[in-house]
Amino acid sequence: MEEQAVIRALGALAQETRLRILRYLVTMGPAGAAAGDISQEVGASASRTSFHLSTLADAGLINATRASRSIIYRVDFDAMGGMIGYLVRDCCKSDPRVTTCC
Amino acid sequence: MEEQAVIRALGALAQETRLRILRYLVTMGPAGAAAGDISQEVGASASRTSFHLSTLADAGLINATRASRSIIYRVDFDAMGGMIGYLVRDCCKSDPRVTTCC
DNA sequence: CTCCTATTTCAACTTTTGTTGAAATATAAT
DNA sequence: ATTATATTTCAACAAAAGTTGAAATAGGAG
């Protein structure tokens, strides 16, 4: 992952509602969750949730697929791994104080 | 590391100049670097660099110590590890697609 | 086709973040 | 004391991000 993509991903996660959305989607695994469910889960309005979902999707951290009337969102674990790998390796030169944490 | 601290740390890194500062400080290791050197290295004005250094320090990712007229900044690798550990474990439940990256 | 549900888009607005250059502070050298 | 160096702080401004509620779009059911 290149620097600009990493910056977007970091910015996407640096927000309470979005971090909660991501955590929720992680727990939902491959099944994912519909926008409406996410909205309820994180206690945010539909439009606010939609905005944050777009931000996460633009950053490549989640994917959207339509299923009938709902739109299902899922975590892109590879993108998360890409971002974290950048931080650990490119940024922190795989310093042991960093790598031991994972 | 708790959620709010993680959000601050993510926000601190989600900016080009600050990410560059952190990368530079990682390469400098325990010796660290003076604000002026960092300013030159990243090509930012003194006040802009000072602002970004404060942001990183407030987020706990770097530390400052005075050495004569200069102020030396160093990466706090444990804080970086704390932030990354949160992403990997609390956030991604240590999913293999994430942990294999580090 | 009309109605209902799910979600997004939009415009107006508020808040937060980043930039600039000048002034202030702190330390050291002469 | 005076001067020079290193860095921060400040106020003014510019730009980006987040919130709100209403309207628009898309798909399915009657």
Residues B84-101 have pLDDT tens digits of 999 999 999 999 999 998
What percentage of residues in chain A have a pLDDT greater than 90?
A: 96
Phi, psi of B51 (to 5 degrees): -60, -45
Rounded (5°) CA angle B67-B64-B55: 145
Residues B7-66 have pLDDT tens digits of 999 999 999 999 999 999 999 999 999 999 999 999 999 999 999 999 999 999 999 999
B16/B49 Cα distance (integer angstroms): 12
Task: Select the residue of B7, B19, B85 nearest A102 (Cβ to Cβ).
Answer: B85
Residues A42-87 have pLDDT tens digits of 999 999 999 999 999 999 999 999 999 999 999 999 999 999 999 9
What percentage of residues in chain A have a pLDDT greater than 70?
A: 100
pLDDT value for B93? 97
pLDDT value for B42? 98
Q: Select the more confidently predicted residue: A100 or B31.
A: B31
Work out the average pLDDT over A16-33. 98
For the CA of A51 and the C1' of D18, the distance in angstroms is 9
pLDDT value for A102? 82
Contact between A92 and B98 using a beta-carbon 8 Å cutoff: no
Chain B residues with beta carbon closer than 8 angstroms to that of A102: 84-85, 88-89, 94, 98-99, 102
Task: Select the residue of B14, B75, B91 nearest A23 (Cβ to Cβ).
Answer: B91
pLDDT value for A2? 92
pLDDT value for B101? 82
B100/A78 Cα distance (integer angstroms): 10
pLDDT value for A36? 98
User: In chain A, which residues touch B (CB < 8 A)?
Assistant: 3, 6-8, 10-11, 13-16, 19, 22-23, 26-27, 75, 77-78, 80-82, 84-85, 87-95, 97-102
pLDDT value for B11? 98
Work out the average pLDDT over B52-81. 98
Work out the average pLDDT over A21-50. 98
Closest-approach residue (CA) in chain B for A93: B26
A53 near A59, Cβ under 8 Å?
A: no
Subset of residues 59-98 in chain A with CB less than 7 angstroms from any atom in strand C: 64, 69-71
Domains belonging to chain A, first-starting first, are 3-94 (1.10.10.10)
For the CA of B35 and the C1' of C27, the distance in angstroms is 15
Long-range Cβ contact pairs of B73-79 (< 8 A, separation 24 or more)? B73/B21, B73/B25, B73/B32, B73/B33, B73/B34, B73/B35, B73/B38, B74/B25, B74/B28, B74/B30, B74/B31, B74/B32, B75/A92, B75/B22, B75/B25, B75/B26, B75/B32, B77/A92, B77/A95, B77/A97, B77/A98, B78/A97, B79/B1, B79/B9
When the pLDDT of each residue in chain A is averaged and rounded to a whole number, the result is 97
pLDDT value for B102? 82
